[in-house]
């Protein structure tokens, strides 16, 4: 019966409906209505369903490659400083000050950890950075990155000591750094010792006269080291010729 019904359907497509069928067949073939270079693309259009979009990774997500850093702050630091992981590992980084600070709000006491770190390449560069966060790891990392970012060249005489005597004052801390002859060593308090070691200063004397607040001592030492006046600049300002007598006359023996 079904076979008969199908045959009947076929038979009912008489000459009157043949045109309709032929038109539908004509319309279904995209080659009659569209022109395209790519046959495959043309035939794809034939179906009413939307095309399959090409599969690609979600542009919002960024996946780390093998062995690469994921931390955006670290990447940015390496970019801005021009260092690579090796260079950063060779820096001398030391946390000098670490304490809990507390902010009293109406919700209660909000405590944070504060780090003061110095970074130096032991050859004339020194930087200090502060980091404050609720977690110890975050604060330490913040301070380390700030220290590396803030590295500045420290003027050194013969690469071992500072030029003359310099003073630094931050808050109630007043200190004085003095140059010393070769072989003297860094005979200073532990904070200034670490800073001198990171900067590559091997002969130094220091006297902290007033307060000895750790944070301000570090800042005052940094200020003092940066405030050195170079003899060449002084000579140029005064219009005088400058000769390093120790080098030229005594051949470095005095």
Partner 1 sequence: MSLVSLAHVCSHLQNASKARLGLTSIPSTNLHLTLAHALQKQGFLSSVTRAGPTPPAPEMIADPSSSPEAEVTQANIASRRLWLGLKYWNNEPVLRKMWMVSKPTKRIWLNHHDLGVIVRGREAG
**Positions that interact with partner 1 (CB under 8 A):** 233, 236-240
Within 8 A by CB and 6+ apart from 241, the residues are 235
Closer CB to partner 1, residue 30 or residue 164? Answer: 164
Each residue of 78-110: b (16+ CB within 10 Å) or e? beeeebeeeebeebbbbbbbeeeeeeeeeeeee
As measured in angstroms, the least distance from the Cβ of 237 to partner 1 is: 4
As measured in angstroms, the least distance from the Cβ of 167 to partner 1 is: 12
Pairing of strands 108-120, 92-105: antiparallel
As measured in angstroms, the least distance from the Cβ of 184 to partner 1 is: 17
Number of Cβ within a 10 Å radius of residue 115: 24
Within 8 A by CB and 6+ apart from 66, the residues are none
As measured in angstroms, the least distance from the Cβ of 236 to partner 1 is: 7
Within 8 A by CB and 6+ apart from 132, the residues are 101, 112, 113, 114, 115, 139, 142
Closer CB to partner 1, residue 8 or residue 254? Answer: 254
As measured in angstroms, the least distance from the Cβ of 101 to partner 1 is: 37
Closer CB to partner 1, residue 135 or residue 233? Answer: 233
Closer CB to partner 1, residue 7 or residue 233? Answer: 233
Closer CB to partner 1, residue 71 or residue 233? Answer: 233
């Amino acid at each position: 019966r079904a076979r008969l019904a199908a045959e009947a359907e076929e038979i009912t497509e008489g000459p009157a409906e043949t045109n309709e069928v032929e038109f539908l067949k004509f319309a279904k073939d995209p080659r009659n209505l569209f022109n395209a270079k790519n046959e495959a693309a043309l035939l794809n259009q034939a179906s009413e369903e939307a095309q399959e979009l090409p599969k690609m990774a979600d542009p919002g997500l960024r996946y780390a490659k093998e062995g690469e850093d994921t931390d955006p702050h670290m990447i940015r630091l390496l970019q801005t400083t021009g260092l690579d992981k090796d260079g950063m590992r060779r820096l001398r980084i030391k946390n000098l000050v670490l304490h809990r600070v507390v902010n009293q709000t109406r919700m209660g006491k909000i405590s944070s950890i504060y780090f003061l770190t110095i970074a130096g390449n032991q050859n004339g560069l020194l930087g200090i950075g502060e980091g404050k966060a609720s977690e110890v790891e975050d604060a330490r990392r913040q301070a380390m990155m700030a220290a590396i970012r803030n590295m500045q060249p420290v003027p050194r005489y013969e690469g071992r000591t500072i030029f003359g005597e310099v003073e630094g004052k931050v808050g109630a801390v007043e200190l004085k750094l003095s140059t010393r002859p070769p072989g003297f060593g860094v005979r200073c308090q532990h904070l200034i010792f670490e800073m001198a070691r990171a900067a590559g200063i091997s002969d130094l004397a220091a006297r902290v006269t007033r307060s000895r607040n750790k944070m301000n001592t570090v800042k005052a030492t940094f200020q003092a080291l940066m405030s050195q006046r170079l003899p060449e600049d002084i000579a140029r300002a005064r219009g005088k010729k400058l000769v390093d007598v120790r080098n030229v006359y005594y051949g470095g023996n005095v």
